[in-house]
Amino acid sequence: MHATAVAEVPVKTPVQTSIFDPSNPGFHTDFDEKPFEFNHCFTADHPMFQLPRIRQILDHPVLMHHAYYDHGPIIIGQRWQQLPERKLTSKEVFDNIDEASGWMMLRHLEKDPEYNALLEQCLNEVKLLTGRQIDEDKKSQEAIIFFTSPNRITAYHIDRECNFLMQVSGNKEMNIFDRNDRDVTPETELETFWSKDNNAGIYKPEFQDRAYVYQMRPGTGVHIPVNSPHWLKTPNNVSISFSISYQYKDSRRKHVYQANYYLRKMGLNPTPPGKSAILDNTKRAAVSLGFAGKNLIKKIKGK
Ligand SMILES: [Fe+2]
């Protein structure tokens, strides 16, 4: 009787995480391509999301200058230059959040060591779960708390960050669109966004039915890939959300869109990124070397 060789079956060790649910396949399959919902451990009883702790941000000598807010009714397609006039201070909005119709974006919390520890822990887990080289890819990272009044809209916009938005307290509805849908986001909007205007995304109600809609509640979150347009609605509750994000070092996408912005201004109909590697590389080189206008056109026509 011959001894039977036993084939070695590799044992897959599950990734150990304490913030995100490691069984969610979205981290691997959809990361920075499509939005997906995930579970996380942050809820309203976490010490870093208690109201007195969050309010300290408004007295922090550095962070107080990064605390953006507005208040008053706005619409989904709100233009940022037409926001209602601010009549309240940031602390007045914070202390009267139930009635202020306010939206507070407490930015750059990575400058606070305690919030930075949360951000680092989150990004480490994202790195493990996605298998991406985030440390090598990122040029900057940011933690933000959003503090929002009941029945308040967060206007439609697009971002340059790769983002994980986590609901911590209260509920919130996320409406997010496929970034590759050129009816929703035409090339011209992306060209303007990457060249000169963060508010370039225009809401188109006729395509609302194409939105992925997520009902966020404490312990759930939504991944927002770079340039995926989105808007949010807080129902009849105060909402606290925590966002972790990073920007890519790689500026190739930005440079192609910037080149196309100038080409279109000169009456040409530029080829969108991703259609021709030669054109994309030429545009990237031209923009990164500082060529613009006619020099750029000459360079591209010469190819
Ligand atoms: Fe956003």
Name the amino acid, one letter, at 111.
K
Q: How far is the CA of 165 from the centre of ligand 1 (A)?
A: 9
pLDDT tens figures, 241-257: 999 999 998 888 899 99
Could you tell me where the DSSP H helices lie in 131-237?
134-137, 187-195
Distances (CA, A) of 31 to 23, 109, 126, 172, 222: 14, 24, 9, 22, 11
Q: Kindly report the pTM of this predicted structure.
A: 0.91
In this model, does residue 10 exceed pLDDT 80? Answer: no
Q: Does an H or E element contain 37, and which?
A: strand 37-39
Dist CA 121 CA 19 (whole Å): 8
Q: How far is the CA of 151 from the centre of ligand 1 (A)?
A: 18
Mean pLDDT of 159-164: 97
Q: How far is the CA of 232 from the centre of ligand 1 (A)?
A: 9
| pLDDT reported for residue 14 | 67
Please tell me the class of the 36-248 domain: mainly beta
pLDDT tens figures, 166-203: 999 999 999 999 999 999 999 999 999 999 999 999 99
* Burial grade of 51 (CB within 10 A; 0-12, 13-18, 19 or more): middle
Q: How far is the CA of 158 from the centre of ligand 1 (A)?
A: 6
Domain boundaries, the chain: 36-248, 252-301
In this model, does residue 3 exceed pLDDT 50? Answer: no
224 touches 138 (CB < 8 A): no
| pLDDT reported for residue 289 | 81
| pLDDT reported for residue 250 | 84
Count of CB atoms situated within 10 Å of the CB of 7? 5
Q: How far is the CA of 162 from the centre of ligand 1 (A)?
A: 10
pLDDT tens figures, 32-76: 999 999 999 999 999 999 999 999 999 999 999 999 999 999 999
Comparison of pLDDT for 291 and 97, the residue scoring more: 97
- Confidence category of residue 291, pLDDT binned at 50, 70, 90: low
Euclidean distance between the first and final Cα of the chain, in Å?
A: 71
In this model, does residue 293 exceed pLDDT 90? Answer: no
Q: How far is the CA of 55 from the centre of ligand 1 (A)?
A: 22
- Confidence category of residue 295, pLDDT binned at 50, 70, 90: low
| pLDDT reported for residue 13 | 63
Distance of CA 40 to the CA centre of its chain: 17
Q: How far is the CA of 161 from the centre of ligand 1 (A)?
A: 8
| pLDDT reported for residue 54 | 98
Report residue 202 as tokens. Answer: 């225009």
Could you tell me where the DSSP H helices lie in the chain?
26-29, 51-55, 90-95, 113-130, 134-137, 187-195, 252-265, 277-288, 293-301
Q: How far is the CA of 261 from the centre of ligand 1 (A)?
A: 23
Dist CA 146 CA 70 (whole Å): 12
pLDDT tens figures, 229-245: 999 999 999 999 999 99
Q: How far is the CA of 204 from the centre of ligand 1 (A)?
A: 17
What percent of the chain has pLDDT above 90?
85
